[in-house]
Amino acid sequence: MRLHPPQTAAQLAERIGATARGNTQRLVTGLNEINRVEEGDLVFVDHEKYYAKALNSAATTILINKEVEPPAGKAIIVCQDPCAEYNKLVRHLMPRQAWDSQDPVVGEGTEIHRSVVVGANVRIGADCLIMPGVVLYENTTIGDRVTIHANTVIGGDPFYYKKRPTGYDKMAPGGSVVIEDDVEIGALCTIDRGVSADTRIGAGTKIDNHVQVGHDTLIGRHCLICAHVAIAGAVVMEDHVTLWGQVGIPSKVRVGGGAVVLAQSGLMGSVEGGRSYLGSPAGESRRKLREIALTSRLPDLFRSLTEKKQED
């Protein structure tokens, strides 16, 4: 999420009653979590395992729960609970807007059914078709010539929580969804907004019914996603990827351009582009088919070995 206007690290530290160190007058131009952080952003870190990653990232202000030497040119803000303080900043700087607080900007030739629910700061391009029962949460952006079929929800909150001894703390959402030009989205799909950046569906991509796309996921251009696919958060799908029915993709995985993942497959990690994948855990399809063929022969092989042993 971008800050308008930007604020200094010292100003943000004062707002949450924390202490700033280093280049405290460095302007913070945005708040972001580590997967999408950019120069000028503030990022939070609260676990020793990720200290180095956060301090060495593109972020120029780090909200942290340990006294460390600020990296050159950067600021740190030291507090006891960075996650909770980050949530406070998001809620203050980007509070939720009432559903009817702002009319959408709608392009020429777009048709929106009267039952569609549209939140604040929504932009819809030209020649779009928004079918009955669609819900567009705040800050959603839709390009030109987009079709969204009935009862799809765009921009719901990310499924992102911090586990604590008392339960799960919800991450305050500050992101959005961007649907680029010439996208078609089937009925009963759900596309969650980013935690602090955007969830993006690339131009020309076609999505079937009953598909889930998690927060901060980036889907490339001209992808084909079939029914009952579930894509977790922070996934990167490059251009021209095909996902057949009931494919599952876990978080923070990259799917290379032109990859084809066959039906009911489950990826366990990133995969190269230009190849087909099958199975759960998924592997290169030709090899996986050979494994399946060999597995089917195991009973006969076992019977043969048993008979040979009895003859001996």
Tens of pLDDT, residues 140-165? 999 999 999 999 999 999 999 999 99
Helices (H) and strands (E) in the chain, counts: 5, 33
d(CA 221, CA 72): 38
The per-residue pLDDT for range 43-57, each reduced to its tens digit, is 999 999 999 999 999
Q: Average the pLDDT over each of 16-25, 88-97, 125-134, 288-297 and give the range with the smallest value.
A: 288-297
C-alpha distances in Å from residue 243, one per residue of 158, 226, 253: 22, 6, 14
Would you say residue 310 has pLDDT above 80? Answer: no
Q: Are 24 and 13 contacting, i.e. CB atoms less than 8 angstroms apart?
A: yes
Percent of the chain with pLDDT over 70: 98
pTM reported for the whole predicted model: 0.89
Q: What is the mean pLDDT of residues 31-41?
A: 90
d(CA 175, CA 90): 10
What fold, for 105-288? Answer: UDP N-Acetylglucosamine Acyltransferase; domain 1 (2.160.10)
Start-end ranges of CATH 2.160.10.10 in the chain? 105-288
Provide CB contacts within 8 A for 154, sequence distance 6+: 134, 135, 136, 137, 140, 142, 148, 177, 179, 185, 191
In this structure, CATH architecture of domain 2-93: 3-Layer(aba) Sandwich (3.40)
Total residue length of the chain: 312
Per-residue pLDDT, 129: 98
Per-residue pLDDT, 132: 98
Per-residue pLDDT, 305: 75
Q: Are 187 and 149 contacting, i.e. CB atoms less than 8 angstroms apart?
A: yes
Start-end ranges of CATH 3.40.1390.10 in the chain? 2-93
Amino acid sitting at position 260: V
- Which tops the pLDDT comparison, 288 or 32? 32
C-alpha distances in Å from residue 225, one per residue of 189, 208, 228, 230, 252: 11, 6, 9, 10, 18
Per-residue pLDDT, 311: 67
> Of these residues, 149, 210, 215, 240, which one is catalytic?
215
Question: Is 215 one of the annotated active-site residues of the chain?
Answer: yes
Q: What is the mean pLDDT of residues 189-200?
A: 96
Residue 300: alpha-carbon gap to chain centroid? 47
Q: What is the mean pLDDT of residues 54-73?
A: 94
